[in-house]
A and B are shown apart, each in its own frame.
Chain A
Amino acid sequence: MFGYYLDLAMRSLKRNRMLTALMILAVALGIGTSMTTLTVLHVLSGDPMPGHSQQLYAPQIDPQGADSKTPDDEPLDQMTWIDGMNLLRAKRADRQALMTGGAVPIQPDNAAIDPFYTKARYTTADFFPMFEVPMLYGHAWRGEDDDAKARVAVISAKLNEKLFKGEDSTGRTIRANGADLRVIGVIGDWSPNPHFYDLNMGDYAKSEDVYLPLATSRDLKMSRSGSISCWGNGSDAEEALETESCIWLQFWVQLDTPAKAGAYRDFLVHYSQEQKVLGRFERSPNVALLNLMGWLDYKKVVPSDVKLQTWLAFGFLVVCLVNTVGLMLAKFMRRAGEIGVRRALGASRRAVFAQLLTEAGIIGLVGGVGGLALALLGLWLVRKQPDGYATLAHLDLPMLAFTIVLAICTTLLAGVLPAWRACQVAPALQLKSQ
């Protein structure tokens, strides 16, 4: 029966090519634009640590003076050196890492390569196991290395390729900022998006090329970049950063169960109280413990332009569908005579309805394929844009399947009203008026 419906549908669609083309075009445009924007949104709001993000938390405390206030009285989103070190040493979480970013000049031994700057991360040892960083060669450093201010570095596969032609470079040295660092590990393919652990580097920044212990970086006076904010009499002079009331470090913890997260929150409150008693904090405890996805939401990582475009594209899709409903209504009602004959010959309402919906489904399918082509074109255009996230805009398999399903479902939905109206045709009346 379905084959017959398909045949009837094809005949009917061929009969009025202009109208058919218009309907398909409308569906394709609507689907194409919505899928382009939705894919960008999907990519940008993705989970950088799938399966693991629930256990990662960004603790926030509020060491500010009594009279300096953030706009909504939110706790601060970075740590001072003193608090960071205190929380790090407390070891109340399953894992914890204190870090900041910077740029280091690398002077290759090979004279054929000019000196260059590369992005670096100064962090403590737990960074690697906590963020599940895969190691291609060697291993990351341990807590002892942090304490010893060891002159060691972990480098990215990209930098390893550039400096050591991709060989196992563990044990060799790199010259960074005038100091020799021993390479102890090479990271495999790792680039979480968004760059959640330090959004100051750019929300969708690529991961760093050089990693070294935080204490080492301070010891070697490595240049630091990112956001720094001071209050009271805090001066942002580099030498004083360890003692002043300035926030410039990111602190992340891993808490394996919700119960531990609750306990850690209590610990943050307790810590704030203790610091107030000691006279370091002036305000009553003001803490937050957001998990990774909550943190990305709080920091409004997904650009609002992208959200706006997505809403707009769906508005556009709705107009296209309303348009398709109107055109289908016209098309189906024009065939009232034919439907009357079929009804008179014994076709049930249900059969007529099914046949008309088949026709709508075909339009949806063809429109969906067209929309897919338009979405691919749209994403290609997005990738040409200069935004930091542009290169990420690719259609993955689930989105591809979703595109086709969305196209067919919406068109079927659009076909319901016209098909239902067409079924209501009274056969006798139609036959008489022929």
Chain B
Amino acid sequence: MQVHKYDVVIVGAGGAGMRAAIESGQRARTAVLTKLYPTRSHTGAAQGGMCAALANVEEDNWEWHTFDTVKGGDYLVDQDAAEVMAKEAIDAVLDLEKMGLPFNRTPEGRIDQRRFGGHTRDHGKAPVRRACYAADRTGHMILQTLYQNCVKHNVEFYNEYYVLDLLVVEDDAVREDGTPYKQKRVAGVVSYDLASGEIHVFQAKAIVFATGGAGKVFKTTSNAHTLTGDGMGIAFRRGIPLEDMEFFQFHPTGLAGLGILLSEAARGEGAILRNSEGERFMERYAPTIKDLAPRDIVARSMANEVREGRGAGPNKDYVLLDLTHLEPAHIDAKLPDITEFARTYLGVEPYTEPVPVYPTAHYAMGGVPTNIKGEVLQDNDTIIPGLYAAGEVACVSVHGSNRLGTNSLLDINVFGKRSGINAAEYAKTADFVDLPDNPTAETIAMLDVVRSGTGTEKVAAIRSDLQETMDANMQVFRTADSITTALGDIEKLRERYRNISIQDKGKRFNLDLLEAVELGFLLDLAEAMTVAALHRKESRGGHYREDFPDRDDANWMKHTMLYKDPTAETEGIKGIRFGTKPVIFTRYEPMERKY
């Protein structure tokens, strides 16, 4: 076991992690641990843009952006956080430009802006041009620019170091009202060096989790193979709650059958969704902003068209994204990558043919609860000093029950920056927390169980069965029956997981072992999502219950908080305790959500 000491350790090197590193690295001794090379992170796959009310091309202001974010999230958004994000969006974009990001430009040389779903002028009157972009590779440019600036500032990376545990200690403490409680503190992380198979402990005063999402619980997903929810899983196992896990976003336009993302920017540039009869069906569901309605609404509308028999294709199981009325030169200038995806993977020429699309699992609105400083919460009121989270792993909550397009690239920049600054400032005055005795014991035990397992079950088969049941039962339409089916399947899969074996027994780049560990996290998170979905008996944003089709503010205007607790039981699942957390309101009273 090797032990390293840093003031700040950042786990994950996507947009949030590297944005944090740029700030932290200039203020405190910082290390970034990442299970990939930084430039492989999935921020690079984001396409369409990053919204900020720059008002470069038409009237706009951050208050309209805040409102759209709150309404887009079906009022489950914490409004203080949305306000921070919309206000700081402007500097976040300007920061990136100054770091070198090559945004598309207006004829006057300013950052160009385009339309995106759910972003409107004056509280819903019409679509507004708010998304700053670089063709349809905005995420790629953000990831590259942040990495370039990490190189510039000599940020220290530990590439292909897979963090497997968070070292948490608990102290006896007393609340203001006199009640005793256990205060969590963090001492460091345990990581596994993929190249050598060795365990490294990183002791740190402050830790930032920026590990990304968990899209691989689903089969049809825009997410990378590596997005297995490790950070959420580690936190949950260590007694940190997970917030709003029932809310998962399905992006409307995944390439049919493959799930590869085709940006909403296509519709922002004028593309139209059509059913097998050629109808622009979004006119039925969102008469004002049509194809530019928020993603949850568009995804459900598409699934409904298919369900009612108006799907296209031989099996009538997808709809069509029509770009054929756009000028090829315009498509080439604004949407070069996604049109190439259609050509490469489906053999469809978007200049002349509509592209088959269907919703694809895209983004976890929920995650590790934080406040607007990026500090992680151990319960509704108590922070864990020194522990921060930002980006998709976190739930701050700026996305509520449905994230607007472009707001994740914004989230990682705003809250990545905040977390990086706050972690470094905290580390300046804090002491190291002593490592617990034998800090690697649990990690080594977990790896040994996987490595020495002699069972008959295969990791890939269990993962595939998990993804099948999640796609079938936890997608855009849910009922008590479908969710219960998924939950039953997950419990059986957890049994099977105890009986796995892997073939690679070596130390060097043992990715067989890695996938087995990742599957453990996927199963934990799928269970959390499913339990939370069964519990929430209403429809809101990305969570649509056909047995409870209306939003129910009287009973459910609150965040879900799930805790791992051996003494508790929720929805028949032992070991999970259910709690809630109030939604923070500042300016906006809940209204019916119409577009």
Query: Is chain B found bound to chain A in the same assembly?
Result: no
Chain B interface residues (CB < 8 Å from chain A): none
